[in-house]
Amino acid sequence: MKKWAALAVVASGLVLLSYTPTADRYFEIAKNLDIFATLFREINDKYVDDVNPNTLMRTGIDAMLESLDPFTNYIPENEVEDYRTINTGQYGGIGALTREIGGRTIVTMMYEGYPAYRGGLRIGDEFIKVDEVELSKLTSDQTNQLMHGQVGTTVSLTIRRFGVKDPVKLSFKREKIKISNVPYYGIIGGNMGYIRLSNFTPDAGKEVRAAVIALKESGAKGIILDLRENPGGLLDEAVNICNIFLPKGKLVVTMKGRIPEYNHEYKTTATPTDMDIPVAVVINRNSASASEIVAGTMQDYDRGIVVGEKSYGKGLVQLTRQLVYNSQVRITMAKYYTPTGRCIQVLDYSHRRPDGSAGPVPDSLKKAFKTTNGRTVYDGGGIDADVLVDYQPLSSIAETLLTNGLLFEYATRYASRHATIGLAKDFSLTDTDYQEFVSWIKTKEYTYQSPMERELETLKTTAKAERLLEELQPQIDQIQERLADSRKNDLMTFKDQLKSLLEEEIVGRYFLERGQAEVSFKDDPEIRKAVEILGNNTQYKKILVP
């Protein structure tokens, strides 16, 4: 590993020269490239074991970029198509999502209206072969490459279906798949419009605008824009979404970087759809980048309230550049600033700790800014929610059953025994249903540790190092016994949480993403709070006007 580290250090020297005079800097670049090429050649020629040059080079590139920030990435030719799918929401395929569970490739979701949905594929089906190629011999990446392909070509699948003895063969013609940025919108809470925005790929603004218009026509008195778990995407689409609620000519975001020509202001350019309807933007700790631009802009202009948790804190902008051999690189080239002038970037990658890790922006360096109505907001730490809703983490048992695919597996069993379930929003497992699940899950093997058990293991390690373990062992044993007794009841202690997760999994079998959204509302504290505040005009205005 030391040799790889040395390679990475030499390579990273190329990016640490920005403060030297131009002529000297170009000389240093040329010198270091020479050193790097010579070292790479010598390792490949003389190293004691055979070395794969592609793997070695990728290790060096990744280590070099890792010294910068997590968002500056190298994209080799074989990953460009996946990267394009993420950024455009489009690919040639059949419209099915898969996941590896227990070494098996399982269908976890389908996009309504596309070949997989029309052709009889079901959630829970296991892929055995793709075009007669056995998947047991392939990696998940290789499987995805087989599934995707040129529009109009045919792909043959051999699947194993729960409750069906023999394998089933299906054939599909690939189509251009366009993943919707808005997987769900509808009226909830009586008269509130709800829009779930999952991505910022092309047409995100058009999709949200169309949803707002449709919801208003259905009688919506307020709009809830759900950006939870949204990692961001195209900056232009963030501007377009803000433009739905803000007048033409309003500053949305400013980009500032080391190179002046990349500095730019982005303003709204179109006539707004509605500047008066109450708006709640819902965020959580995984709302990032373009999601934070929308939430921060709406907050800076006091155009809506922000509900949920503090956001991720990504205030960096990436530029994609073409490299040789059809590879690409995404380079962080600027920081972005909301209309008040705040950058919400939470980690400072330019000043690392001695161990190489990036620390948060110190509180002493954070600045206060004023919104249009005079409310105080801060930079350097993500977007703070105006209405904070406490985060409810998944219990250890729920996380384990989700990760191991056991909740998914039970939902498949349930769906095989129930032809219909009624309306998605009204679906609820009975106590008898849940007890059947408990009886089934007890026949399965799974292990997990609660947070207290993990802390206890840490305590034992520390006590042993301090030579106190023998003295503390009786108390530790007593705590372990109590925790073991408590774990026996976890399936009932966390019944509400497990029941909600099961209901979402089951409803997805019948109504796909739309159904999962509808059944989730009844157990969603952030959405309940947003509905409550939007329905109380006095409370809504009190938050926006200090």
Beta bridge partners, 97, equal 109
Report the sign of the C-alpha dihedral through residues 471, 477, 480, 481, in that order: negative
List the one residue out of 112, 104, 269 whose CA is nearest residue 184: 112
Residue 409: helix, strand or coil by DSSP?
helix
**DSSP class of residue 233?**
B
Cα–Cα dist 397/441, whole Å: 11
List the one residue out of 524, 542, 540 whose CA is nearest residue 532: 540
Residue 388: helix, strand or coil by DSSP?
strand
Cα–Cα dist 330/320, whole Å: 4
Cα–Cα dist 346/159, whole Å: 46
Q: Could you tell me the two tokens for 443?
A: 């026949």
Would you call 133 exposed, middle or buried from its count of C-beta atoms within 10 A (0-12, 13-18, 19+)? middle
Which CA distances in Å does 533 have to 148, 214, 401? Answer: 45, 22, 35
Please report, as a single letter, which amino acid is at residue 205. Answer: G
Q: Could you tell me the two tokens for 375?
A: 């409310």
Please report, as a single letter, which amino acid is at residue 64. Answer: M
Contact present, 494 and 397 (Cβ < 8 Å): yes
Q: Could you tell me the two tokens for 259?
A: 């190179």
Question: Which residues are marked as active site?
Answer: 289, 300, 314
- Please list, in sequence order, all residues whose beta carbon lies within 8 angstroms of the beta carbon of residue 230, skipping any fewer than 6 positions away: 197, 198, 199, 200, 286, 287, 288, 290, 291
Which CA distances in Å does 79 have to 137, 153, 382? Answer: 20, 21, 30
**DSSP class of residue 102?**
T
What is the DSSP pairing of strand 192-196 with strand 222-226? Answer: parallel
Which CA distances in Å does 266 have to 119, 204, 235, 339? Answer: 44, 17, 9, 10
Cα–Cα dist 57/37, whole Å: 10
Instruction: Report the C-alpha dihedral over residues 50, 31, 332, 92, rounded to 10 degrees.
Output: -40
What number of residues does the chain have?
A: 546
- Please list, in sequence order, all residues whose beta carbon lies within 8 angstroms of the beta carbon of residue 370, skipping any fewer than 6 positions away: 340, 376, 377
Beta bridge partners, 92, equal 176
